[in-house]
Structure 1
Amino acid sequence: MSRTDMSVDESILQDRKRQQSASFALILLLPTMLVSGLLYLASDHGGRCITNGESCSTVPDEWTYAAFLVSAVCGALAAGGSGQWRWMRAARGGLLVVQLLAHVAVAALIVS
């Protein structure tokens, strides 16, 4: 086996791991939102906002929706893209990073 064959095999294995990670993060997106929402409701700050409308977050709700949409779209592309396409293997790492950052942003925006 040549050195090139070995690096191609490692590249495909790494791509599969990224694809599995994207699938796992995509599955966890809705539970993350639910847990973050419950944490917000359980907090003193969130309780006052819901009951009295006091000290609510000044961050627009559209940011939360946009972060959710970015996480879902990047996750679907990273998880569903075929490993046969060279450009998808090259882009999957970047899509996974953007997906995870948006995932964390959704949770942070809900809790804040």
Structure 2
Amino acid sequence: MSQTDTSVDESVLEDRKRQRSAGIALILLIPTVIASGLLYVVSDHGGRCVTYGESCSPVPDGWGCGAFIVSAVCGALAAGGPGQRRWMRAARGGLLVVQLLTHIAVAALIVS
């Protein structure tokens, strides 16, 4: 086996790890939203907002929805994109980073 065959195998294995990670993060997106929502409602700040409509977050609701959609789309592309194409293997890492950052942003925006 030559040096290039080994590096190709390693890049394919690394791509599969990224693809699997993207799929797991995509599956965990809905439970993250539910857990963040429950955490917000049981807090004093969130309970007051839900019950009386006062001291609610100044962050527009569209930001949370937008971050959710970006996370879902990037996750679907990263998890479902074909690994045979070199450009997809190269883009999958970036998609995974954007997916994870927006995943965290969704949770933070819901809790805030």
When normalised by structure 1's length, the TM-score is: 0.99
Kindly provide the amino acid, as one letter, of the partner of residue 103 in structure 2: H
Give 1:22 shift: 0.2
State the partner residue of 1:58: 58
Deviation at 1:54, TM superposition (A): 1.1
Taking only the aligned residue pairs, the percentage that are identical comes to 78
SS at match of 2:14: helix
The match for 1:12 is 12
Q: What's the counterpart of residue 40 of structure 1?
A: 40
Paired residue secondary structure (1:47): helix
- Matching residue of 2:105: 105
User: 1:39-75: CA deviations, max 9, x gaps?
Assistant: 0000000000011111100000000000000000000
Deviations 1:2-54 (A, max 9, x none): 11110000000000000000000000000000000000000000000011111
For 2:8, the aligned partner's letter is: V
Distance 1:98 1:41 in 2: 27
Structure 1 gap ranges (5+): none
2:68 paired residue number: 68
Q: Provide the residue aligned with 1:31 in structure 2.
A: 31
Aligned residue identity for 1:24: I
TM-score, length of structure 2 as denominator length: 0.99
3-state secondary structure, aligned to 1:110: helix
The equivalences for 1:67-86 within 5 A come to 67-86=67-86
| Counterparts of 1:18 and 1:35, CA distance in 2 | 25
Amino acid corresponding to residue 6 of structure 1 in structure 2: T
Q: CA RMSD in A?
A: 0.4
Gaps of 5+ in 2: none
Deviant stretches of 4+, over 6 Å: none
